[in-house]
């Protein structure tokens, strides 16, 4: 009897562990090309996946999609002119966003010379006090509805978002990612002349792995439309580095 119980217990542990590993691996399997193409020391960054967000701005009466490439291993993001920030950053070809708060802008100057600059957004790496404030804000303004779902193999939870300065309440969905999405939220704070058509100013509210994947408000509607394989190779070595004074 005891032996049968032990066998059963071992089976449950192995089954549970297998499921956990399967779920982890199922999220973003590493692209085999990454080992060959990911070479930051040579100015080469390979992004195997992208997330696509559809949006409708009710005030400006515009709609469209935003695509953001990412590397699942490091959480590095890549914003491209033609698919994310558009003409707002017309002098840039793409902008890389790193987990340490660095943003690398690759584009051309007024003379057509290909250049790259780097700036640091310290808010992307919050200190302990800031993290505590973020959690307090979340507990204050986000109320879970109890609804959950799976979006592209990732768990999502519905909340009602309240605001300190108005009586408005918006329905939102938050999707948990296996890496920090703060480089996306920090894009709001870069000094370079580039902006997304949707505001992701949520550094004050959300934890680092919480992607605001759906919003339905009076002014804006947006939703995570897809997240999956979408290879893109960003080559920075052809851009001359320009030091920017602090």
Judged by average pLDDT, the poorest of 85-89, 167-171, 196-200, 206-210 is 85-89
**10/101: higher pLDDT:** 101
pLDDT digits (tens, 9 = 90+) for 16-26: 433 333 333 24
* Residue 44, strand partner residues: 39, 235
Tell me the per-residue pLDDT of 229-246, one tens digit each, with 9 for 90 and over.
999 999 999 999 998 765
Query: 């987990």: which residue's tokens?
Result: 99
Instruction: Round the CA-based radius of gyration of the chain to a whole number and report it.
Output: 21
Query: What pLDDT does residue 245 have?
Result: 63
109-112: long-range contacts (C-beta < 8 A, 24 or more apart)?
Answer: none
Tally the residues of the chain: 246
Sign of CA dihedral 124, 28, 46, 195: negative
């Amino acid at each position: 009897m005891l032996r049968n119980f032990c066998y059963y217990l071992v089976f449950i542990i192995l089954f549970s562990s297998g499921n956990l590993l399967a779920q982890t691996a199922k999220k973003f399997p590493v692209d085999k090309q990454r080992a060959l193409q990911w070479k930051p020391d040579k100015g080469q960054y390979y992004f195997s996946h992208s997330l696509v967000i559809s949006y409708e701005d009710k005030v400006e009466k515009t709609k469209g999609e935003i695509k953001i490439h990412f590397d699942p291993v490091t959480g590095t993001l890549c914003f491209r002119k033609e698919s994310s920030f558009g003409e707002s950053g017309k002098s840039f070809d793409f902008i890389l966003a790193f987990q340490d708060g660095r943003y690398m802008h690759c584009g051309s100057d007024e003379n057509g010379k290909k250049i790259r600059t780097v700036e640091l957004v310290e808010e992307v790496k919050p200190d302990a006090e800031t993290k505590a404030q973020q959690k307090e804000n979340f507990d204050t303004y986000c109320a879970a509805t109890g609804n959950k779902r799976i979006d592209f193999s990732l768990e999502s939870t519905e909340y009602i978002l309240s605001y300190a300065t108005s009586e408005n309440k918006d329905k939102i969905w938050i999707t948990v990612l296996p890496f920090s999405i703060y480089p996306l939220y920090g894009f709001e704070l870069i000094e370079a002349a580039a902006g997304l058509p949707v505001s992701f100013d949520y550094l004050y509210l959300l934890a680092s792995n919480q992607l605001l994947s759906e919003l339905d408000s009076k002014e804006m509607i947006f939703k995570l439309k897809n997240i999956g394989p979408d290879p893109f190779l960003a080559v920075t070595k052809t851009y001359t580095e320009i030091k920017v004074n602090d």
